[in-house]
Amino acid sequence: MTDSETRPDPSVDGIRAMLMRGGTSKGLYLLATDLPTDTAERDDLLLRVMGSPDPRQIDGVGGAHPLTSKVAVVSPSSDPRADIDYLFLQVAVDQPLVSDRQNCGNLLSGVGPFAVERGLIPAPVTPDAAEVSVRIRMVNTDGVATAVFRVEGGRPVYSGDTAIAGVPGTASPVRLDFEDTAGSSCGALLPTGSVVDTIAGTRVTCIDNGMPVIVVAAEELGLAGDEECATLEADHSLRTRLEEVRLAAGPLMNLGDVAGTTVPKLTIVSPPRSGGSLTTRTFIPHRCHDAIGVLGAVSVATAALLPGSTAHPFLDAGAAPEGVIRLEHPTGVFDATVEVDPHSSPPTVHRSGIIRTARKLFDGVAFPRAR
């Protein structure tokens, strides 16, 4: 007997869900116990909740963009390294696809607060604000991150004075420290074994420090590197070339056939324009990101620290405090803290971390369309 035969019908009874902004993304946060255990049934339910496939996701809660069509599935962890398990699912907008092939560091910033909201993590019930530290296993890659955030009266604090580019206003900070992210998807920090490769006629650096990314210099593509996203998306020949590179790189990065997946991402790099360390434009993989993803930023920052990479020539190492790489993107800057030994063989990542914010948008019951 399947879940669908024993569980209440979500299209009638709904499914408990919380919509949160995590970093520069927005997604639906759910407890694993509220979802079918069968993967096909779960994915079918999420497509109906989000309103996919439809370019506007008009009949669901998705936001008609990959950055707002995301899902975090949270549960207690049986792994001694962690308190909470977090499975990230990318729901395609205009295709009936749900992918678990990557992490999402932006939604990760809301996982700790959500776990407190749902009672999975006890929080001190004190009149004054206190910090809570939650160890989170990122199920997609088996990596572990520690989230540190404020609580007050046993509940997460969402208001604060921390600003991140791409998000209006300010909010309470969430510090994320990553462990063992190097090679978490591809098996190695440099999955091809080289700092630089020529793939589909294009010189690139393939790297995975939490997110598989192909890094290419803007000049290699005949670009300045600071073009608007709309301009880049409208360039059909550019997008065709980028996809040729991505498809050819997939097997070389130990990802296999990536035609139907959202990884690897592709980031175009060039010199900084506004006092940062580097300018970036990222495709995810076919839409140009208005900012840059968390783990993608960590991977690109790591590439910039490796002599001989496609990003290293553009790095202004004095543009930020030591250990911080300030990545310029279309809506501002992203600071990634990376410590790497580029001279070891292979290069060794000692630490990666970032500051994000998150905010609860609504909590209630979502009603998927009927099958």
Q: Rounded to an integer, what distance in angstroms lies between the CA atom of residue 48 and that of residue 322?
A: 47
Q: Among 2.40.110.10, 3.20.20.70, 3.10.310.10, 3.40.50.720, what is the CATH number of 197-345?
A: 3.10.310.10
H-helix or E-strand spanning residue 283: strand 278-283
Contact present, 325 and 303 (Cβ < 8 Å): no
Tokens coding 200: 């589909």
State pLDDT tens for residues 27-58. Answer: 999 999 999 999 999 999 999 999 999 999 99
| pLDDT higher than threshold 70 for residue 115 | yes
pTM for this prediction: 0.79
- Give the pLDDT band of residue 3 (cuts 50, 70, 90): low
Cross-strand partners of 145: 136, 178
Tokens coding 350: 């000692």
- Give the pLDDT band of residue 1 (cuts 50, 70, 90): very low
Cross-strand partners of 151: 130, 156
Got the DSSP string for 308-341? TSSSGGG--GGGSSTTEEEEEETTEEEEEEEEEE
Q: Rounded to an integer, what distance in angstroms lies between the CA atom of residue 132 and that of residue 243?
A: 42
**Cα Rg of the chain, angstroms:** 20
Cross-strand partners of 349: 340
| CATH code linked to domain 3-181+357-366 | 3.10.310.10
H-helix or E-strand spanning residue 132: strand 130-138
The full set of domain ranges for the chain reads 3-181+357-366, 197-345
Contact present, 229 and 290 (Cβ < 8 Å): yes
- Give the pLDDT band of residue 318 (cuts 50, 70, 90): confident
Q: How many whole angstroms from its chain centre is CA 24?
A: 9
State pLDDT tens for residues 220-274. Answer: 999 999 999 999 999 999 999 999 999 999 999 999 999 989 899 999 999 999 9
Q: CA dist 5 to 9, 10, 302, Å?
A: 9, 12, 48
- Give the pLDDT band of residue 7 (cuts 50, 70, 90): low
Tell me, yes or no, if the two domains 3-181+357-366 and 197-345 fold the same way: yes
Can you list the alpha helix ranges (DSSP code H) found in 174-271?
A: 229-233, 236-252
